[in-house]
């Protein structure tokens, strides 16, 4: 550590450290302009403001009475899990849910992005874990949040370090935007062609009555099991195999991240092109659904949580099945079938027998896949790029935060935001 770096606790370096309101906010179906972030939204330097809970304006005003989050604030999870850190990049109608603490750097002493990466470093993370207590679930007391100590260089060097590391995160953020746009494009196309029946040439097609209402003539009404295999049979080789826990699935996209490896395990079994559909509450209601395309080839297989229902196309195409599983009618049908003890309710697979699909012609399905398959592959490629960017950032982070790599003499253009 350079001799001119000073060690201080973050309470001395921040102009505000604000705790959440420690009770559950009354949420609504939404969307509304007022969004609650939860511990699940904070991970690895990021605050995801897309998969949020919504509230009415009066609730929002009550929950920000201690202070409204601002763009650039750093968020810490105090429990479940303990020690996740994220930078808030969107402050429109945002407020803190339970077990979150917000740090607002004093711009005269501390650069907010330097604070973000200092709290991600192993030194601060070790302190956070040492503050944790609780026999069942580790949690950190709010007063202890201000006691976390970090080493700080002069403000100019802080800004340079924050700029270098955030350049990786800015690339990641740009890729995430592209991923979101690509997925929305695919979902919109599915709704247009197979829900609203506005596919190319629909103007020339005669529509006829069916149990689903008016559908294009020539399309057949089928039950889902006639067109989709539920829990397909998959052979798993002996030895170490990829394993996907529930936490690997996103609530808002097809992405499957942080894949583990385990000895041959029981549970869901799947291959590339399969859809993983969460069957347990609250994972289903929160939107956890993934599309498998991370395996090296189509013959490879993986295992996953016993709480997945694996869906595989018979007569449709893999992209159609995933997008259908994300659709509101499909999810509503599954949610209505749930039964079991409170908090552990599960989808009853018999509900799929009643879910009807209008089967289009092979030509329309082929045209649909021609458009959506490259979109799915691009999403996977962009996500793979983000994983590489995160690894590079994480290798560089401890060297910069410790001063092992000296940047004080480097001529680095500091963005205006970092100078605030």
Query: Whose CA is closest to 116, among 71, 81, 156?
Result: 71
255-306 confidence digits (pLDDT tens): 999 999 998 777 899 999 999 999 999 999 989 999 999 999 988 999 999 9
CA distance 217 to 222: 14
Give yes or no for a contact between 25 and 106, defined as CB atoms under 8 angstroms apart. Answer: no
CA distance 57 to 181: 28
Per-residue pLDDT, 68: 92
The three-state secondary structure class of 406 is coil
315-364 confidence digits (pLDDT tens): 999 999 999 999 999 999 999 999 987 778 999 999 999 999 999 999 99
Per-residue pLDDT, 419: 45
Whole-angstrom CA distances from 165 to 84, 91, 106, 161, 387 are: 18, 22, 20, 6, 15
Average of per-residue pLDDT across 120-124: 96
pLDDT score of 247 more than 70:
yes
DSSP 209-274: --TTSSEETTPEEEEHHHHEEES------SSEEEEE-GGGB-SSSS-B-S-EEEES--SEEE-TT-
Average of per-residue pLDDT across 172-183: 95
CA distance 345 to 360: 34
Average of per-residue pLDDT across 412-416: 72
Domain ranges for the chain: 6-152, 220-359
Q: Which residues, in sequence order, are CB contacts of 188 under 8 Å at separation 6+?
A: none
Angle, alpha carbons 54-57-58 (nearest 5°):
115
Distance of CA 15 to the CA centre of its chain: 30
Enclosing H/E stretch for 171? helix 155-194
Distance of CA 47 to the CA centre of its chain: 9
Query: Whose CA is closest to 382, among 272, 275, 254, 270?
Result: 254
Q: Do domains 6-152 and 220-359 have the same CATH topology?
A: yes
Beta strands in 28-164 (DSSP E): 34-37, 42-43, 45-47, 53-55, 74-78, 82-87, 94-96, 100-105, 149-152
CATH superfamily of 6-152: DNA methylase specificity domains (3.90.220.20)
Helix axes 112-120, 155-194, angle to 10 degrees: 80
So what's the architecture of 220-359 in CATH?
Answer: Alpha-Beta Complex (3.90)
Average of per-residue pLDDT across 87-92: 90
Per-residue pLDDT, 265: 73
The pTM (predicted TM-score) of the whole model is: 0.88
Give yes or no for a contact between 386 and 250, defined as CB atoms under 8 angstroms apart. Answer: no
33-69 confidence digits (pLDDT tens): 999 999 989 998 999 988 899 999 999 999 999 899 9
């Amino acid at each position: 550590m350079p001799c001119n770096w000073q060690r201080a606790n973050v309470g001395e370096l921040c102009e505000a450290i604000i705790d959440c309101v420690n009770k559950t906010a009354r949420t609504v179906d939404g969307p509304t302009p007022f969004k609650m972030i939860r511990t699940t939204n904070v991970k690895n330097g990021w605050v995801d403001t897309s998969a949020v809970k919504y509230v009415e304006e009066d609730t929002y005003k009550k929950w920000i009475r201690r202070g409204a989050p601002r763009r650039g604030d750093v968020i810490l999870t105090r429990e479940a899990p303990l020690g996740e850190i994220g930078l808030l990049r969107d402050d429109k109608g945002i407020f803190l849910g339970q077990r979150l603490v917000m740090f607002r750097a004093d711009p005269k002493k501390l650069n907010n992005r330097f604070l973000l990466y200092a709290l991600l470093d192993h030194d601060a993370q070790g302190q956070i874990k040492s503050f944790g207590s609780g026999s069942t679930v580790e949690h950190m007391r709010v007063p202890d949040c201000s006691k976390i100590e970090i080493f700080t260089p002069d403000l100019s060097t802080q800004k340079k370090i924050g700029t270098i590391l955030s350049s990786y995160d800015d690339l990641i953020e740009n890729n995430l935007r592209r991923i979101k746009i690509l997925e929305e494009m695919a979902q919109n196309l599915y709704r247009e062609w197979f829900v609203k029946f506005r596919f190319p040439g629909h103007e020339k097609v005669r529509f006829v009555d069916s149990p689903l209402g008016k559908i294009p003539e020539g399309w057949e009404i089928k039950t889902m099991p006639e067109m989709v295999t539920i829990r397909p049979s998959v052979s798993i080789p002996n030895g170490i195999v990829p394993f996907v826990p529930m936490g690997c699935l996103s609530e808002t996209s097809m992405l499957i991240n942080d894949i583990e490896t385990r000895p041959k395990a029981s549970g869901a079994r799947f291959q590339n092109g399969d859809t993983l559909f969460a069957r347990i509450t609250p994972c289903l209601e929160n939107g956890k659904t993934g599309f498998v395309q991370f395996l090296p080839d189509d013959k490879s297989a993986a295992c996953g949580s016993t709480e997945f229902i694996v869906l595989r196309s018979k007569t449709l195409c893999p992209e159609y099945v995933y997008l259908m599983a994300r659709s509101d009618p499909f999810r509503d049908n599954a949610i209505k079938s749930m039964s079991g003890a409170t908090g552990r309710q599960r989808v009853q697979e018999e509900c799929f027998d009643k879910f009807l699909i209008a089967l289009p012609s092979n030509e329309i399905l082929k045209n649909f896949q021609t458009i959506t398959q490259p979109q799915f592959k691009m999403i996977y490629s962009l996500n793979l790029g983000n994983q590489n960017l995160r690894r590079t950032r994480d290798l560089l982070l401890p060297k910069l935060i410790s001063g092992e790599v000296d940047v004080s003499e480097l001529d680095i253009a500091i963005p205006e935001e970092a100078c605030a």
